[in-house]
Amino acid sequence: MKKNKETLNIAFLGLGGQGIITLAKMIAESALDTGKKVCYNEIHGLSQRGGSVQSFLRLNEESSPLFASSDVDLVIGLEKMETLRYLYGIKGHKPKVILLDYFEIRNTNYFGLEVFPEEEEIDKEIRERAEELYIFDSENFKKQFKGNFIPYNVGIFSALTTFEELGITEETGEKIVKKLLGKNILLSQVNKKAFKEGKKWIKKI
Protein backbone atom coordinates (compact mmCIF):
# COMPACT_ATOMS: atom_id res chain seq x y z
CA MET A 1 0.00 0.00 0.00
CA LYS A 2 1.40 3.38 -0.99
CA LYS A 3 1.96 5.69 1.93
CA ASN A 4 0.51 9.20 1.86
CA LYS A 5 3.30 11.68 2.58
CA GLU A 6 1.23 13.12 5.44
CA THR A 7 0.48 9.73 6.99
CA LEU A 8 2.18 8.93 10.28
CA ASN A 9 2.52 5.20 10.97
CA ILE A 10 2.94 4.21 14.61
CA ALA A 11 3.67 0.79 16.13
CA PHE A 12 3.01 0.15 19.83
CA LEU A 13 4.86 -2.82 21.33
CA GLY A 14 4.94 -4.42 24.75
CA LEU A 15 3.50 -7.05 27.04
CA GLY A 16 0.01 -7.82 28.27
CA GLY A 17 -0.77 -5.81 31.39
CA GLN A 18 1.31 -2.77 30.40
CA GLY A 19 -1.58 -0.80 28.93
CA ILE A 20 -0.44 -0.86 25.30
CA ILE A 21 -3.99 -0.79 23.95
CA THR A 22 -4.99 2.06 26.25
CA LEU A 23 -1.94 4.04 25.15
CA ALA A 24 -2.85 3.55 21.49
CA LYS A 25 -6.42 4.64 22.24
CA MET A 26 -5.20 7.79 23.97
CA ILE A 27 -3.15 8.75 20.91
CA ALA A 28 -6.04 7.92 18.57
CA GLU A 29 -8.58 9.89 20.61
CA SER A 30 -6.22 12.86 20.82
CA ALA A 31 -5.76 12.86 17.06
CA LEU A 32 -9.50 12.65 16.46
CA ASP A 33 -10.02 15.51 18.89
CA THR A 34 -7.76 17.71 16.77
CA GLY A 35 -9.55 16.79 13.55
CA LYS A 36 -7.09 14.25 12.17
CA LYS A 37 -8.14 11.11 10.34
CA VAL A 38 -7.30 8.00 12.33
CA CYS A 39 -7.19 4.31 11.56
CA TYR A 40 -6.03 1.76 14.13
CA ASN A 41 -6.49 -1.76 15.33
CA GLU A 42 -6.92 -2.41 19.02
CA ILE A 43 -4.86 -5.54 19.40
CA HIS A 44 -2.60 -7.97 17.64
CA GLY A 45 -1.05 -10.70 19.75
CA LEU A 46 -1.73 -12.06 23.22
CA SER A 47 -3.32 -9.66 25.65
CA GLN A 48 -2.97 -11.82 28.75
CA ARG A 49 -0.43 -10.59 31.28
CA GLY A 50 3.07 -11.24 30.03
CA GLY A 51 2.05 -12.08 26.46
CA SER A 52 3.26 -10.14 23.45
CA VAL A 53 0.98 -7.24 22.46
CA GLN A 54 1.16 -5.02 19.39
CA SER A 55 -1.13 -2.27 18.19
CA PHE A 56 -0.87 -0.22 15.01
CA LEU A 57 -2.16 3.27 14.34
CA ARG A 58 -2.13 5.53 11.31
CA LEU A 59 -2.73 9.26 11.47
CA ASN A 60 -4.11 11.07 8.42
CA GLU A 61 -5.18 7.73 6.97
CA GLU A 62 -8.55 5.95 6.85
CA SER A 63 -8.10 2.93 4.58
CA SER A 64 -6.35 0.39 6.82
CA PRO A 65 -4.56 0.34 10.19
CA LEU A 66 -1.95 -2.09 8.89
CA PHE A 67 1.24 -1.09 7.15
CA ALA A 68 4.53 -2.66 6.13
CA SER A 69 7.18 -2.53 8.84
CA SER A 70 9.40 -0.66 6.38
CA ASP A 71 6.82 2.18 6.44
CA VAL A 72 6.75 2.65 10.22
CA ASP A 73 7.64 6.19 11.33
CA LEU A 74 7.39 5.91 15.08
CA VAL A 75 7.96 2.87 17.31
CA ILE A 76 6.68 3.15 20.87
CA GLY A 77 8.01 0.29 22.99
CA LEU A 78 7.10 -0.52 26.58
CA GLU A 79 9.47 -3.50 26.80
CA LYS A 80 12.94 -3.74 25.29
CA MET A 81 12.95 -7.28 23.88
CA GLU A 82 9.55 -6.85 22.21
CA THR A 83 10.76 -3.58 20.71
CA LEU A 84 13.95 -5.13 19.36
CA ARG A 85 12.04 -8.06 17.92
CA TYR A 86 9.93 -5.65 15.87
CA LEU A 87 12.94 -3.58 14.81
CA TYR A 88 14.63 -6.71 13.48
CA GLY A 89 11.82 -6.97 10.92
CA ILE A 90 12.45 -3.51 9.47
CA LYS A 91 14.65 -3.51 6.39
CA GLY A 92 16.30 -0.48 4.80
CA HIS A 93 14.73 2.02 7.17
CA LYS A 94 15.34 3.38 10.67
CA PRO A 95 12.33 4.74 12.59
CA LYS A 96 12.20 7.07 15.54
CA VAL A 97 11.97 4.97 18.73
CA ILE A 98 10.46 5.95 22.07
CA LEU A 99 11.29 3.32 24.66
CA LEU A 100 10.25 2.66 28.24
CA ASP A 101 13.40 1.66 30.12
CA TYR A 102 11.97 -1.75 31.04
CA PHE A 103 13.37 -5.24 30.42
CA GLU A 104 11.78 -8.55 31.39
CA ILE A 105 13.59 -11.88 31.22
CA ARG A 106 11.20 -14.57 29.99
CA ASN A 107 11.28 -18.19 28.93
CA THR A 108 13.96 -18.58 26.25
CA ASN A 109 11.71 -21.03 24.38
CA TYR A 110 9.34 -18.16 23.61
CA PHE A 111 11.99 -16.62 21.37
CA GLY A 112 13.65 -19.88 20.30
CA LEU A 113 16.79 -18.96 22.23
CA GLU A 114 19.17 -21.09 24.25
CA VAL A 115 20.32 -18.16 26.39
CA PHE A 116 18.48 -14.89 26.94
CA PRO A 117 20.63 -11.93 25.81
CA GLU A 118 22.02 -9.43 28.29
CA GLU A 119 20.12 -6.16 28.62
CA GLU A 120 23.20 -4.21 27.47
CA GLU A 121 23.26 -6.21 24.23
CA ILE A 122 19.61 -5.44 23.60
CA ASP A 123 20.17 -1.72 24.29
CA LYS A 124 23.03 -1.64 21.77
CA GLU A 125 20.96 -3.37 19.08
CA ILE A 126 18.04 -0.97 19.58
CA ARG A 127 20.32 2.08 19.31
CA GLU A 128 21.77 0.78 16.06
CA ARG A 129 18.31 0.30 14.54
CA ALA A 130 16.80 3.64 15.55
CA GLU A 131 17.13 6.88 13.62
CA GLU A 132 16.49 8.68 16.90
CA LEU A 133 16.13 7.03 20.31
CA TYR A 134 14.26 8.52 23.26
CA ILE A 135 14.31 6.76 26.64
CA PHE A 136 11.58 7.10 29.26
CA ASP A 137 13.18 6.83 32.71
CA SER A 138 10.95 4.27 34.41
CA GLU A 139 12.86 4.23 37.71
CA ASN A 140 12.68 7.94 38.43
CA PHE A 141 9.09 8.09 37.20
CA LYS A 142 8.18 5.26 39.59
CA LYS A 143 9.64 7.18 42.54
CA GLN A 144 6.95 9.84 42.13
CA PHE A 145 4.26 7.39 43.32
CA LYS A 146 3.65 5.85 46.73
CA GLY A 147 1.53 2.84 45.79
CA ASN A 148 2.04 -0.24 43.63
CA PHE A 149 0.01 1.10 40.70
CA ILE A 150 2.39 2.88 38.33
CA PRO A 151 0.68 3.99 35.09
CA TYR A 152 3.70 3.99 32.79
CA ASN A 153 1.46 4.16 29.74
CA VAL A 154 0.01 7.48 30.91
CA GLY A 155 3.52 8.73 31.61
CA ILE A 156 4.58 7.80 28.08
CA PHE A 157 1.45 9.49 26.71
CA SER A 158 2.42 12.65 28.55
CA ALA A 159 5.92 12.47 27.06
CA LEU A 160 4.44 12.04 23.59
CA THR A 161 2.75 15.44 23.85
CA THR A 162 6.23 16.93 23.41
CA PHE A 163 6.62 15.37 19.94
CA GLU A 164 5.58 17.90 17.32
CA GLU A 165 4.62 15.34 14.66
CA LEU A 166 1.80 14.01 16.86
CA GLY A 167 0.30 17.46 17.38
CA ILE A 168 -1.08 16.71 20.87
CA THR A 169 -1.34 19.72 23.16
CA GLU A 170 -1.17 19.40 26.93
CA GLU A 171 -4.78 20.56 27.14
CA THR A 172 -5.92 17.85 24.73
CA GLY A 173 -3.87 15.24 26.56
CA GLU A 174 -5.42 16.11 29.91
CA LYS A 175 -8.89 15.94 28.40
CA ILE A 176 -8.27 12.50 26.87
CA VAL A 177 -6.82 11.07 30.09
CA LYS A 178 -9.91 12.25 31.93
CA LYS A 179 -12.22 10.91 29.21
CA LEU A 180 -10.70 7.42 29.03
CA LEU A 181 -9.39 6.93 32.56
CA GLY A 182 -11.38 9.30 34.75
CA LYS A 183 -14.26 6.98 35.62
CA ASN A 184 -12.30 5.04 38.24
CA ILE A 185 -12.21 7.46 41.17
CA LEU A 186 -9.58 5.35 42.94
CA LEU A 187 -7.09 5.67 40.08
CA SER A 188 -8.04 8.95 38.42
CA GLN A 189 -5.78 11.03 40.66
CA VAL A 190 -2.84 8.70 40.04
CA ASN A 191 -3.38 8.92 36.29
CA LYS A 192 -3.66 12.69 36.51
CA LYS A 193 -0.34 12.83 38.35
CA ALA A 194 1.24 10.45 35.82
CA PHE A 195 0.26 12.78 33.00
CA LYS A 196 1.70 15.76 34.86
CA GLU A 197 4.99 13.96 35.59
CA GLY A 198 5.55 11.99 32.40
CA LYS A 199 7.06 14.62 30.14
CA LYS A 200 9.81 15.24 32.72
CA TRP A 201 11.33 11.78 32.30
CA ILE A 202 11.90 11.46 28.56
CA LYS A 203 15.29 12.19 27.03
CA LYS A 204 17.04 11.70 23.72
CA ILE A 205 19.99 9.29 23.75
Domain ranges across the chain: 8-103+116-204
Q: What does pLDDT average to over the chain?
A: 89
Q: How does pLDDT run across 100-154, given as a tens digit for each residue?
A: 998 775 655 556 666 778 889 999 999 999 999 999 999 999 999 998 999 999 9
pLDDT at 41: 82
Burial-class residue 41 by CB neighbours within 10 Å (0-12, 13-18, 19+). Answer: middle
Distance between CA atoms of residues 96 and 164, nearest Å = 13
Range list of β-strands (E), 32-131 = 38-45, 52-59, 74-77, 96-100
Query: Quick check: 45 pLDDT over 70?
Result: no
Separation CA 68–CA 77 (nearest Å): 17
Predicted TM-score (pTM) of the model is 0.90
> What is the model's pLDDT at position 2?
42
Confidence of residue 1 (pLDDT cuts 50, 70, 90): very low
- pLDDT, residue 52, reads 85
Under CATH, which number does the domain 8-103+116-204 receive?
3.40.920.10
Interior angle at CA 42, CA 151 and CA 196, nearest 5: 25
Q: How far apart are CA 60 and CA 132, in angstroms?
A: 22
What is the rounded average pLDDT of the residues 27-31? 96
Q: What is the 3-state composition of the chain as percent helix, strand, coil, each rounded to the nearest 5? A: 40, 20, 40
